């Protein structure tokens, strides 16, 4: 493993400060500038000690835990930092943070030293059982919280701990650098160790804010929102006091966080006072708050006020999702409409499919297999297709315009998408690019050029895939370019609301008129039994339909499909553990409606010695596999043979696990739906004395030419599958008849 140099953490901190003092200089207030000057004036050992303390998880630190080879006199440096005011021993306001940082043993010792229980020694307290290590940590914390803070700070234990006093400054710096309040400095170490990928080549190393008051206000409201979510409020007064202490927000980001905080506070307040809860929700412009207010106010009988609010939303909805809610709520509550927009969409232009039950949990894959078995091309696209289109089409505007791209190398999303002001900042450049895209050829040329130039570049908009351009080409070729530009414009104008919710699969209708783009390609949102259409999906689908892109909603139920292909597999190996052993033979048979329609088998060279006990069991020797192909040589054949089929084996996890591990060794992903004939036989043929392959074939009179050879065992397992499927089909037909 890569080793970091001795003073790596200090180098990281100086790199961190150089960004804060450089691009973010205009965002710093007096106390921030003073700290940076004082830090640079401190000697190296003091700097190292402070950074070591900053890197600790808790603000309260046990002095004895600070032991580092490069800092042999660390107690002297701690004292110097105390003199500077950057560290101190715990004070009364640190009571909760101090208690939260302690282990169970330390909590017990603190309680013993500071308890007011008279006439009881620490040993007697422990023996009494009221406070002991046998208690849960939460109980020990509760016991210590009952202590007087002054007693804790005056105890000799207080001298064994120090508290960081510069956290508000460092946390603000971290917010400026990383753009959130959760990031820590250890990300620099993860970068240097190669654990975390960064995007140095695209980082603009520019400030995320234009105004220092707005930056500080955004940071503070991020902190307030996080604190509110962590706190437990016991009364209406607690919530009111928390909100009453907050300053007015400065800037758009702080204002958005304030509205989100009002939404959170309103929801919580409803538990104590419904009227006050509604008042808080009414103060928030957050979409969720407006929807919550309408629902709660309607429950409280304020129907006229709710109707007025819904009509106002229709006039100026803000987002497509809020518009969909207002239309739906108004129709159902005021126009006596019995079904919701979601239900209507499920009924209009939808289709219903029955696919094999093996695809439970991966229904989209099942629908794609259904189409491919009918000779129709289908692709899993979901959000990635349109996000790829967005990222590749607008790459230059997203990543290369000053101030809009990645602020630092640790960012994934461009700053303009994080702040949701991409179109506001770059609308002129976006429209200029759109004006140049006047055909599918010009759009595809742009996508191909950007993919070739930037392939593999790290970013958080989409994932690079080998088939990315293939799918984009189908989309562009069979969709009106103006419709695609409308989708991209919508994503640019409101990335946060419009970057997801896209349909699950794209289907190319091979039999359609090639001149009719809309008829030749469509999208489908797949919903299995119990699935619901989420509001962001509703908004996205409505928009796609409005611009002329065909979308169906496909509902699915699960059956045992008689036309479903199965590939029954057996393997022989050098041992029983897929991580350490290799495959020596594979045998596969493909079944459709119980009939074998194809087969495949091969010995494989495991590139290692086959143990003698394995040779005795299987009959496969080193000489037999010496000239056999490697797994890598037949990987494409195995992939093609098992494509769109259900993988079946006796003790399926053994065979499946070995094959998947072989693919992993050649850095390929391989997944198939699977069934186990052991489990199926136990379910449908209960009470048999043994479910081993040999005993089952003997019990059912199935011919087995050579046990422990792959093709022979695969053929035997295929007969077991047919026995099971006979019962499954009979049971299913009986249920349909009823």
Q: Residue 204 domain-assigned?
A: no
pLDDT over threshold 80, residue 341: no
518 and 414 together in one domain: yes
545 and 604 together in one domain: no
pLDDT over threshold 80, residue 734: no
326 and 402 together in one domain: no
- Per residue in 31-87, pLDDT tens? 999 999 999 999 999 999 999 999 998 999 999 999 999 999 999 999 999 999 999
320 and 442 together in one domain: no
E strands along 563-616, which residues?
566-573, 583-592, 595-603
Q: Residue 199 domain-assigned?
A: no
- Per residue in 233-257, pLDDT tens? 999 999 999 999 999 999 999 999 9
CATH code of the domain containing 695: 3.30.420.10
392 and 525 together in one domain: yes
Total domains, the chain: 4
pLDDT band at residue 340, thresholds of 50, 70 and 90?
low
Q: Residue 504 domain-assigned?
A: yes
Q: Residue 626 domain-assigned?
A: yes
Closest-CA residue to 519 (of 487, 545, 549): 549
665 and 527 together in one domain: no
Q: What pLDDT sits at residue 177?
A: 95
592 forms beta bridges with 595
Computed over its alpha carbons, how large is the radius of gyration of the chain?
A: 33
**How would you list the strands of the sheet with 595-603, edge to edge?**
595-603, 583-592, 566-573, 646-649, 674-676
Q: Residue 326 domain-assigned?
A: yes
- Per residue in 360-416, pLDDT tens? 778 898 899 889 888 899 999 999 999 999 999 999 999 999 888 899 999 989 999
Question: What CA–CA distance (Å, rounded) separates 267 from 293?
Answer: 9
- pTM score, whole prediction: 0.76
263 and 403 together in one domain: no
380 forms beta bridges with 505
Of the three residues 557, 588, 612, the one that is the final residue of a domain is 557
**Between the CA of residue 433 and those of 376, 389, 441, what are the distances in Å?**
35, 14, 14
Of the three residues 557, 586, 621, the one that is the final residue of a domain is 557
118 and 62 together in one domain: yes
Question: What CA–CA distance (Å, rounded) separates 506 from 520?
Answer: 11
Q: Residue 3 domain-assigned?
A: no
Question: What CA–CA distance (Å, rounded) separates 282 from 322?
Answer: 15
Of the three residues 281, 316, 345, the one that is the final residue of a domain is 345
Centre a 10 Å sphere on the Cβ of residue 611 and count the other Cβ atoms it contains: 12
pLDDT over threshold 90, residue 482: yes
Structural domain boundaries, residue 247: 215-345
Q: Residue 34 domain-assigned?
A: yes
Q: Residue 1 domain-assigned?
A: no
373 and 498 together in one domain: yes
Interval 121-150 mean pLDDT = 75
Is the separation of the CB atoms in 281 and 309 below 8 Å?
no
pLDDT over threshold 80, residue 516: no
255 and 164 together in one domain: no
167 and 232 together in one domain: no
532 and 579 together in one domain: no
């Amino acid at each position: 493993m890569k080793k970091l140099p001795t003073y790596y953490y200090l180098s990281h901190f100086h790199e961190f400060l150089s960004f804060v003092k450089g691009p973010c200089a205009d965002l710093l207030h007096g106390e921030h500038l003073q700290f940076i000057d004082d830090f640079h004036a401190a000697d190296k050992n003091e700097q190292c000690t402070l950074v070591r303390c900053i890197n600790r998880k808790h603000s309260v630190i046990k002095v004895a835990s600070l032991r580092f080879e490069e800092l042999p006199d660390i107690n002297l440096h701690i004292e110097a930092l105390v003199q500077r005011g950057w560290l101190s021993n715990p004070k009364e306001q640190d009571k909760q943070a101090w208690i939260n940082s302690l282990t169970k043993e330390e909590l017990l010792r603190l309680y013993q030293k500071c308890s007011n229980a008279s006439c009881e020694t620490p040993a007697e307290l422990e023996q009494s059982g009221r406070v002991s290590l046998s208690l849960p940590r939460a109980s020990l914390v509760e016991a210590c919280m009952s202590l007087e803070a002054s007693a804790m700070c005056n105890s000799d234990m207080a001298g064994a701990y120090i508290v960081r006093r510069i956290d508000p400054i460092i946390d603000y710096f971290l917010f400026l650098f990383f753009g959130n309040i959760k990031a820590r400095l250890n990300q620099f170490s993860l970068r240097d160790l190669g654990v975390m990928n960064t995007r140095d080549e695209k980082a603009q190393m520019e400030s995320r804010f234009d105004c220092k008051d707005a930056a500080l206000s955004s940071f503070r409201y991020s902190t307030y929102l996080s604190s509110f979510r962590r706190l437990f409020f016991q009364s209406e007064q607690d919530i009111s006091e928390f909100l009453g202490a907050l300053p007015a927000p400065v800037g758009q980001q702080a204002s958005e966080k304030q509205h989100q905080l009002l939404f959170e506070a309103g929801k919580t307040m409803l538990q104590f006072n419904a009227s006050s809860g509604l008042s808080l929700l009414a103060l928030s412009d957050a979409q969720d708050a407006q929807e919550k207010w309408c629902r709660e106010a309607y429950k409280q009988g304020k129907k006229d006020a709710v109707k007025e609010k819904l009509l106002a939303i229709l006039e100026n909805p803000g987002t497509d999702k809020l518009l969909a809610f207002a239309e739906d709520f108004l129709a159902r509550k005021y126009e006596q409409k019995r079904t919701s927009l979601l239900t209507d969409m499920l009924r209009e232009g939808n289709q219903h499919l029955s696919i094999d039950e093996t695809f439970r949990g991966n229904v989209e894959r099942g629908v794609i297999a259904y189409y491919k078995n009918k000779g129709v091309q289908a692709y899993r696209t979901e959000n990635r297709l349109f996000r790829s289109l967005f990222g590749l089409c607008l790459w230059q505007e997203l990543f290369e315009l000053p101030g809009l791209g990645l602020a630092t190398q640790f960012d994934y999303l461009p700053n303009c998408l994080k702040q949701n002001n991409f179109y506001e900042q770059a609308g002129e450049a976006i429209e200029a690019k759109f004006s140049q895209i006047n055909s599918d050829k010009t759009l595809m040329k742009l996508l191909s050029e950007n993919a070739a130039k930037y392939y593999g570049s790290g970013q958080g908009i989409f994932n690079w895939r080998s088939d990315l351009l293939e799918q984009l080409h189908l989309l562009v070729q069979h969709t009106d370019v103006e419709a695609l530009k409308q989708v991209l414009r919508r994503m640019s104008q409101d990335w946060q609301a419009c970057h997801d919710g896209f349909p699950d699969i794209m289907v190319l209708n091979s039999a359609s008129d090639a001149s009719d783009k809309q008829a030749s390609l469509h999208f489908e949102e797949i919903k299995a039994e119990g699935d619901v259409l989420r509001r962001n999906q509703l908004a996205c689908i409505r928009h796609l339909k409005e611009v002329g892109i065909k979308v169906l909603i496909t509902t699915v139920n699960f059956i045992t499909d008689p036309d479903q292909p199965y590939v029954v597999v057996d393997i022989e190996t050098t041992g029983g553990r897929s991580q350490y052993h290799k495959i020596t033979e594979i045998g596969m048979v493909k079944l459709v409606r119980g009939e074998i329609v194809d087969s495949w088998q091969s010995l494989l060279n495991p590139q290692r010695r086959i143990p003698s006990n394995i040779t005795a069991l299987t009959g496969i020797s080193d000489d037999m596999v010496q000239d056999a192909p490697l797994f890598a040589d037949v990987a494409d054949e195995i992939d093609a043979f098992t494509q769109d089929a259900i993988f079946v084996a006796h003790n399926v996890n053994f065979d499946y696990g070995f094959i998947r591990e072989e693919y992993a060794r050649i850095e390929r992903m391989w997944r198939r739906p699977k069934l186990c004939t052991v489990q199926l036989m136990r379910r449908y043929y209960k009470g048999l004395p043994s479910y081993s392959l040999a005993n089952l074939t003997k019990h059912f009179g199935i011919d087995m030419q050579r046990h422990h050879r792959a093709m022979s065992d695969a053929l035997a397992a295929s007969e077991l599958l047919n026995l099971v499927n006979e019962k499954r089909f009979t049971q299913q037909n009986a249920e349909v008849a009823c």
